[in-house]
Homo-oligomer: A and B are copies of this chain.
Amino acid sequence: MDWATLEPSLNLTEIGEQAYRLIAELYPLCRSITGEGVRQTLAIVQQHIPLTVHEVPTGTRVFDWTVPKEWEIRDAYIKNAKGERIVDFRNSNLHVVSYSAPVRGKISLTELKEHLFSLPDRPDWIPYRTSYYKENWGFCLTHNQLLSLDGESYEVLIDSSLRAGQLTYGEFYLPGTTRDEVLLTSHICHPSLCNDNLSGIALLTLLAKLLASQPRCYSYRFLFIPGTIGSITWLARNEARVRRIKHGLVLACVGDPGHSSYKKSRRGDAEIDQAVRHVLEHLGQEYEILDFSPYGYDERQFCSPGFNLPVGCLMRTPHGRFPEYHTSADNLDLVRPECLADSFSKCLAILNVLENNRTYLNQNPKCEPQLGKRGLYSTMGGQAEARVNELAMLWVLNLSDGMHTLLDIANRSGVAFDTLQRAAQALLQHGLLKECVKAASRPPRTSENEGKMNPTAIGDTRRKGSKR
């Protein structure tokens, strides 16, 4: 992958529109950590990329956790004395607390209120609530709806079931020149919430689609997983291959108009952390780098001390910092095509850094080589104007002592990575640099069979002919 050649060919406007349409298509589905909503979501993603869908049975032990029962929801409402559905699941799937146990009957308002959730300070919004690991039931409604309840008793129905079933997740693997992997993930368990995290699902899908068409140094693994239990399940089932993950990004809340933010991996100075910082810094837009904390998305699991993977989280406005977070206002108005496109473009710029972050050895380390005689240097001396490209070459030469990557050089020099990348290519062509071989990089083994480890895969839709 080479950003310099890729960037001009991208139609970011179209990509933003495409991502937005995908969000709109996924929006009505009632997702949770298990169930049909997840399967339907993955099926839509499969229309874009040949995703492998995995199913893991209820009761499977995954580290300290157990795959929960599968949740099915068909209908739900609160009816008033006149039999009117005053809270109706058909209007918004947020109305039902996710994983609500079935309930049916007439109950007093007092008792009902113990099962109702609203937002007093946002009286028109429906909150989003879950109760995955403790059997319970409940309705979420606007505070205005709550205030209007004045009957003595109400008829409630939650036509759901909690039965042994499957936990479903999607996985897409793109082999590269080496088996070293970049992990890219999004959580897929939220119902009709756009920024958190249909935006992540849409971007991940389009990134995978694009990368499939590009030359790749790294192998790429895309995970579409329910939050927490999904990453735990994947890690439990793939413990042996975790060491191949050299860099990772969790994508979440990437569609709102706020500026970009990045939460660092637990390591804090991993290559991914440096790469993201470099890209955001050089774009000249406002951005924020957040320290790692063990609260957030699936980076919590990837960065648990037993794994400590170099996985950060790329967002725009972080979870909990925008008022619409986890409410019905996180809808199709909150996310914007141009913001999705901007996040997409930043992802590619980050991956470009990872793909091209090589270490070189200056072949003329004693004094500068004479760039002029190779046509690499302006021949008319004495002018004071900055010469960005010449300076980039001088930086690459000066720090290519085998101990600095291009990204190190970018950080020290303040020169943009892609400018240094072009400089390094010119110097390589003239024999002034040689690449240092990374010990960790090996060619992919052809005998590797991804399928083996997925006994419950319901469909291996990988593209034919892709080299595994």
| Chain A residues engaging chain B, CB cutoff 8 angstroms | 62-65, 98, 127-134, 136, 228, 231-232, 235-236, 239, 266, 291, 293-295, 300-301, 303-308, 319-320, 325-326, 362, 364-370, 372-373, 379-384, 391, 394-395, 397-401, 412-413
Contacts and interface: CB of A to CB of B under 8 A. Distances in A.
Given A134-B372, A373-B133, A382-B130, A398 B266 contact: yes
**Which one of A136, A232, A320, A383 has the greatest number of beta carbons of chain B within 10 Å?**
A383
Which 7 A-B residue pairs are closest in the complex by CB-CB distance? A306-B365, A306-B366, A134-B379, A294-B394, A294-B398, A305-B401, A130-B381
A220 to B, nearest CB: 23
A136 B379 contact: yes
Nearest to A400: B305
Chain A at the B interface: SS class: loop
A245 B381 CA distance: 30
A196 to B, nearest CB: 11
A129 B413 contact: no
A293 B413 contact: yes
A312 B305 CA distance: 34
Contact of A380 (B131, B295, B303, B398): B131
B295 A394 contact: yes
Contacts of A127: 382
A128 B383 CA distance: 8
A98 B381 CA distance: 9
A64 B372 CA distance: 11
Contacts of A401: 305, 308
A129 B63 contact: no
A236 B305 CA distance: 46
B398 A366 contact: no
A228 B64 CA distance: 58
Given A63-B367, A367-B63, A367-B64, A380 B129 contact: yes
Interface centre among A291, A368, A401 (most CB of B within 10 A): A368
A109 B373 CA distance: 30
Nearest to A395: B294
Most chain B beta-carbon contacts within 10 A, residue among A62, A228, A294, A397: A294
A307 B366 contact: yes
A63 B364 contact: yes
Contact of A303 (B379, B382, B398): B398
A273 to B, nearest CB: 15
Contacts of A412: 291
14 contacts: A129-B383, A134-B379, A136-B379, A136-B380, A232-B367, A232-B368, A235-B367, A266-B398, A294-B395, A301-B367, A305-B362, A305-B365, A305-B398, A326-B384
A306 B401 CA distance: 8
Contacts of A239: 366
A301 B397 CA distance: 11
A345 to B, nearest CB: 29
Given A63-B366, A319-B384, 5 more contacts: A129-B383, A134-B379, A136-B380, A291-B412, A305-B365
